[in-house]
């Protein structure tokens, strides 16, 4: 069994990782870090000189640091993991990668009302679009 755990280093994504290690100890956890190119800024290409290129390098380095922490936690919990870093829109990328897995465990910030409507919810989009079952951890 393969369980996808998208992580962004937030408290909620760590809760999802902990839940997955407890509920699926025999599974391989696929830890995914999606780098959202929209965060680089409008009108700046990802491969461009200066700002966007440095931004992307910093995001890749931060993903590797996250993966090191995840590996340590996984070893302590006795679970197998794979790490995967992708560039793209988070909800879309997560649902694409979910097609290679049996389950998704995702953290939610628990936004409600106007905040959720204005900002959207990656977890909500994943629940609606995922080809496999999704567990949302709050």
**pLDDT digit string (tens) for the chain, length 138 residues:** 999 999 998 999 999 999 999 999 999 999 999 999 887 765 455 455 567 789 999 999 999 999 999 999 999 999 999 999 999 999 999 999 999 999 999 998 756 555 555 446 899 999 999 999 999 998
Q: Which pLDDT score is estimated for 40?
A: 72
* Dist. CA 5–CA 104, nearest whole Å: 6
36, 27, 29: which is closest to 8 by C-alpha? 36
Q: How far is CA 31 from CA 11, 13, 56, in A?
A: 15, 10, 19
Q: Which pLDDT score is estimated for 43?
A: 45
The pLDDT tens digits for 74-88 are 999 999 999 999 999
Contact 1, 133 (CB under 8 A): no
| Domains of the chain in sequence order | 2-137 (3.40.50.620)
3 state DSSP class of 81: strand
pTM of the model: 0.87
* Dist. CA 131–CA 85, nearest whole Å: 20
The pLDDT tens digits for 92-108 are 999 999 999 999 999 98
* Dist. CA 28–CA 3, nearest whole Å: 6
Q: Which pLDDT score is estimated for 52?
A: 74
DSSP label of 49: T
């Amino acid at each position: 069994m393969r369980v996808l755990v998208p992580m962004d280093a937030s408290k909620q994504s760590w809760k999802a990782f902990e839940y997955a290690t407890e509920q699926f100890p025999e599974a391989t956890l696929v830890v995914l870090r999606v780098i959202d190119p929209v965060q680089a800024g409008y009108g700046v290409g990802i491969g461009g000189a200066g700002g966007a290129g440095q931004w992307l390098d910093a995001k890749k380095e931060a993903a590797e640091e996250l993966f090191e922490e995840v590996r340590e936690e996984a070893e302590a919990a006795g679970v197998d993991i794979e790490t995967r870093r992708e560039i793209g829109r988070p909800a879309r990328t997560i649902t694409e990668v979910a097609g290679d897995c049996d389950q998704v465990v995702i953290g939610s910030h628990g936004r409600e009302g106007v905040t959720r409507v204005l900002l959207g919810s990656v977890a909500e989009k994943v629940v609606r679009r995922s080809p496999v079952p999704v567990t949302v951890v709050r």
